[in-house]
Amino acid sequence: MGKWVYEFAEGDASMKALLGGKGANLAEMARLGMPVPPGFVITTQCCLDYFRDGRRLGEPLRREVLEALARLETTMGRKIGDHREPLLVSVRSGAAVSMPGMMDTILNLGLNQLTAQGLAESTGDARFAYDCYRRFIAMFSEVVLGLPAGPFAAILEQRKAASGAASDGELTAPVLRDIADAYLGLVKGRGGRDFPQDPVEQLLMAVEAVFRSWYNDRAVIYRRVHRIPDDLGTAVTVQAMVFGNRGRHSGTGVLFTRHPSTGSPEVLGEYLGNAQGEDVVAGTRTPHPVARLGDELPQVYLQLMESARRLETHYRDAQDIEFTIERGQLFFLQTRSASRTARAAVKIAIDLAEEGIITRAEAIGRVEPEHIEGLLHRGLILEDSSRVIARGLPASPGAATGRVVFQADEAERRGEAGERVILVRPETAPDDMHGIVQAQGILTSRGGMTCHAAIVARGMGKPAVVGCEALTIDLAAGRAWTEDVSISQGELITIDGASGQVILGEVALVEPRLDREFGELLAWCDQVRRLGVRANADTPQDAARSREFGAEGIGLCRTEHMFMTPEGLPLMQEMILAEGEDERRQALERLLPMQREDFKGILRAMAGYPVTIRLLDPPLHEFLPDVAGLTAELEAMVSRGGDPAGIGRQRDLLRKARGLAEVNPMLGFRGCRLGVVYPEIYAMQARAIFEATAELVKEGVSGIRPEVMIPLVGLARELAILEELVRRVAREVMASSGVEFPVVVGTMIEVPRGALTAGELAQHAEFFSFGTNDLTQLTYGFSRDDAEAKFLHHYLRHKVLPDNPFAVLDEAGVGQLVKIAVELGRKARPGLKLGICGEHGGEPRSIGFFHRAGLDYVSCSPYRVPVARLAAARAQLDEQGGKSRERRGRRPARTTGRPVN
């Protein structure tokens, strides 16, 4: 028979998968001798069994829970349900992976009409007892009984107004007892049953409610956003209550051992006197800085600071600590690795390594690729400070502009439609998660740096400004205002999560400033990684930016973008309209100098590094206006009696556009097929590349390394024809210029047949570059635009697909084609260079696959180059770690990456 329940003394930090993060860390703190209220943990396996068994608690589990409860009663010297001195407990969720605020908690469990009175008598504090009771009824009713929170909050506000209390803390014992009675009546009226009075029944109902919260909407959304598996389950921690609401020497707070926004080695904490934990996290009251505790309870403050340092040293990471003070005695209710912004994640990792607490390899592992993306957020350029309408706390950095919405449902609706929105609320709650996901940023009028909005925004890399007390929000009216300005739903605002500013309208953005720690971390990554990292860039400006971010060349330069300029497009259209080869060659001769200058700019910017230039890929009709637009314009010209020559050219355009139109352009006359049928097009492009190379060499620019890539090849004969064309043009340019240069020709693998016959293609290619965007479309038979617009979201929501295959490489399908091409290609040509230039080249999980598959480099957009450098290093470290585990106890083998200490 399995064991379902563990007391804290039976667990430790290594048991997160079984006890959840909260339970395992409470057990670890207890093992360290820290002041932790006693308790026990119901395992994550019980949660999974609960759903497997039809949402029913099995009898063996019930028995173990009651046995553990009896032992807890013995430890505490109090019994649950005792009328004279009752034991109260908290019932809290806790998965193996932190999901802050997404699942449910019940505090003060064990109270009923008799035990509330007994608590009042045993403590001599009726106000405290009935404050706990009204809190418990409201929380239990919402979490366990499923009643809405609004009516309970309304009763509280009514009683506060009637009694003249400005805050909850000013309510007297009789008023609190009256509120509790009103809550009980509300439960009877709304729920159709009396509030449960048996504390054991309360406990078992609460355990079930926490299990059920594993599949509540906000938890499901959070797991989907953060890619947390559904099959982990949540543990349930049952713990003796300690009370922060027992007067002026009591309170509750949250502490970060390092600043969660900047990463600086300073404690950031918040504290509320005479309060319980949910008051801080919910943001319903704005807390005080924890330093204030040093004035009010100096000995407790010193103990708190010493314990915080101890926990950080023990866990070797910045910690997020929840604590409660009951009548001058400190207790710890949770510690976990702190959520942090991107900048903080990098600084904390670097600092911990430089302090000797972790290794450099561990520092690389502590920074997620998403953190690097967050560092590349742009900031604000604000020239008119009069547009600043309010300031709050800078809870999560980055700038965001969007339309104001006040409800999470509306944020979700508009966000899914592609509209940029800012979610504006008095405070956010876990139930707002679906709206937060779709919002560009979050603005609240209440809460502190450790409130729900701040923690979730930092974890998701979204800008947030919280505790903006100058802002009054009327959710019902859909309006917010300050002393000077009123804002209605739909108005455009900008928030700056770095400064806390709220600004009317849209504001210009500035490129990110990358600090020392960012460069240091990426330098460590470069010492480790095996995969090269290139960039996809089409202009000299993109190329220069790529180098700033550490790109080691260009893996994809798309030549078609050069034809879309105001100067190039008319010449391209003239070439398309040509009636024969001679006319087409004349138009191409005029395009040649433009292409040559474009290539010179890019090759110069990347001197010393390879530049892979893809010859023309899209179908020719993409350079012409659409048929419907041409038809309408022609009719208008004729009706106006326009210039006959202009009308004639319009008719030619329309005729050609109709002739080039295709039922399925993605599978049509494009890529290498254009080069085979119209070789003069590819010959012009190759000549422009090689003439640019020769001119740069003559100018004294060294290290010019063009690579010519033939797109959409499925047949070896296609590639053989075009390889010979390119090499012939190269020989002609070398002969006419007197300059010798290397000629490198390769192909994109983006057609499944190309992957399956890679051995044949390798006879004519010195490199393969996987075009995984088209390869994914052709493998699935999906049109990307149609799939993403019409059904892919349904597939993802209903788990038909685990991920969007255009965002994360499909290893089981597309990945197998990549592996086949790698094996066949290298068997035919052992020195074959292999890369990937689709969007997957910048996606961290996909990069891990490409590392394992044996590719030489990835190529991605310039702004994802730093992400790819980190992901490639982590892939190398994962491989070394796996090999180390396999070899444990045997001699070490040589690794392909350079060692990192």
Give yes or no for residue 894 having a pLDDT over 50: no
Express as a percent the part of the chain with pLDDT over 90. 66
Q: Which of 455, 237, 199 is nearest to 332 (CA)?
A: 237
Q: Which of 317, 318, 103 is nearest to 218 (CA)?
A: 103
606 pLDDT tier (thresholds 50, 70, 90): very high
Lowest-pLDDT range of 301-305, 464-468, 576-580, 611-615 = 576-580
27-56 pLDDT per residue, tens = 999 999 999 999 999 999 999 999 999 999
Give yes or no for residue 534 having a pLDDT over 70: yes
Give the mean pLDDT of 285-310.
92
Give the mean pLDDT of 199-210.
97
Q: What is the pLDDT of residue 92?
A: 95
Asked if residues 810 and 839 have their Cβ atoms less than 8 Å apart, the reply is: no
Q: What is the pLDDT of residue 173?
A: 94
Give the mean pLDDT of 18-32.
97
Give the mean pLDDT of 259-268.
91
Give yes or no for residue 898 having a pLDDT over 70: no
Cβ neighbours around 55 below 10 Å, total: 11
Q: What is the pLDDT of residue 596?
A: 95
Give yes or no for residue 520 having a pLDDT over 50: yes
> What distances in angstroms separate CA 182 from CA 176, 178, 197, 502, 581, one per listed residue?
10, 6, 16, 40, 89
764 included as an active-site residue: no
837 included as an active-site residue: yes
831-852 pLDDT per residue, tens = 999 999 988 999 999 999 999 9
Q: What is the pLDDT of residue 378?
A: 67
List CB contacts of 850: < 8 A, sequence separation 6 or more. 531, 809, 818, 836, 840, 841, 858
Give the mean pLDDT of 810-835.
98
Instruction: Say which of 557, 837, 840, 851 is annotated catalytic.
Output: 837
Lowest-pLDDT range of 352-361, 466-475, 733-742, 823-832 = 466-475
Instruction: Say which of 371, 452, 621, 764 is annotated catalytic.
Output: 452
Between these two residues, 565 and 130, which has the higher pLDDT value? 130
Give yes or no for residue 132 having a pLDDT over 80: yes
> What distances in angstroms separate CA 40 from CA 11, 160, 205, 236, 320, one per listed residue?
9, 37, 17, 8, 21
Q: What is the pLDDT of residue 619?
A: 83
Between these two residues, 281 and 209, which has the higher pLDDT value? 209
Please, what is the average pLDDT of the chain? 90
143-163 pLDDT per residue, tens = 999 999 889 999 999 999 999
Between these two residues, 435 and 819, which has the higher pLDDT value? 819
Give the mean pLDDT of 228-252.
92
Give yes or no for residue 705 having a pLDDT over 70: yes
Q: What is the pLDDT of residue 168?
A: 83
Q: What is the pLDDT of residue 377?
A: 67
Q: What is the pLDDT of residue 255?
A: 94
883 pLDDT tier (thresholds 50, 70, 90): low
Q: How far apart are alpha carbons 304 and 650 in whole angstroms? A: 79
Lowest-pLDDT range of 223-232, 643-652, 725-734 = 643-652
650 pLDDT tier (thresholds 50, 70, 90): confident
Q: What is the pLDDT of residue 282?
A: 57
What is the pTM for the complete model shown? 0.79
302 pLDDT tier (thresholds 50, 70, 90): very high
Give yes or no for residue 656 having a pLDDT over 80: no
Backbone angles phi, psi at 99, to 5 degrees: -135, 75
In DSSP notation, 560-624 reads GGGGGSTTHHHHHHHHHH-SSHHHHHHHHHHHHHHHHHHHHHHHHHTTTSEEEEEPP-S-GGGGS
Asked if residues 61 and 4 have their Cβ atoms less than 8 Å apart, the reply is: yes
